[in-house]
Amino acid sequence: MNYVRIYDSKKKHDTCLFLKQDNIIRKDYFIGTFPGATGILYKDEHLNAFISIPRDSGGNFEFEWNSNVVYQLVYADDYRNRSLSSSSSSNRWEFPYWLRVAVGIFVMWIGSIIPSLWSNIYEEIVKKISYPSINHTVNKSYLMERIIVLLIISILYVISIVFVTPVLMNSICNKVKTYIQNIELETLTYNALSRPPLMLP
């Protein structure tokens, strides 16, 4: 009797399933041996890719099996485990949540005070031009230093808004997308209301 060797990634061992003459693995035989598994695949060396074994109309696996090939099981939660592991590995390189919130608040605060700082400098310049004879308390060199520092801060703020904000928005969208994909949707059933009994006088 022919058989196929299937590797179970959860139990970490190989299992042999026997084939009948029709070269089919019955659905009930497969489910009884591997509860929770949804499919079978194998690695094609010529294509350098995994190939999923198709099912027939009855849910049975019919294929030209090769006893020298070790097939692999497919579970419904394999994709979720891969996505969670990839997200957890990527989270190792991310800054803590409180630090990102603090940086965001700081950037917003800088953006809110930049116009008022430019307004103060503009007011000082107008006073010097309009009233040159008055001895102003603000030194000219000090005013130039303020302009240069504020110009640098403004440029850094614009760069952070242009380049950092899209990255943060993309990260938030990816997290929301991953969260929605990992939600288990339960089967909703609708129970129709029964007709009330007819009351005869």
Give residue 97's pLDDT.
62
Give residue 185's pLDDT.
47
Q: What is the pTM of this model?
A: 0.39
Q: 154 CB contacts (<8 Å, ≥6 apart)?
A: 114, 118
Instruction: Please check the confidence at residue 56 and state whether its pLDDT lies above 60.
Output: yes
CA dist 188 to 76, 97, 135, 179, 180, Å? 20, 36, 80, 20, 18
Give burial (CB, 10 Å; 0-12/13-18/19+) of 25. buried
Give residue 137's pLDDT.
58
Give residue 84's pLDDT.
46
Give residue 46's pLDDT.
86
One-character DSSP codes across 100-118: HHHHHHHHHHHHHHHHHHH
Q: Over the stretch 159-193, which tens digit does the pLDDT of each residue have? A: 888 887 777 677 767 777 777 766 554 444 444 44
Q: What's the angle, vertex CA 28, arms to CA 23 and CA 33, rounded to 5? A: 90
Instruction: Please check the confidence at residue 9 and state whether its pLDDT lies above 70.
Output: yes
Instruction: Please check the confidence at residue 55 and state whether its pLDDT lies above 80.
Output: yes
CATH of domain 3-76: 3.10.20
Q: Over the stretch 21-44, which tens digit does the pLDDT of each residue have? A: 778 888 898 888 888 888 899 888
Widest distance between CA atoms in the chain: 110
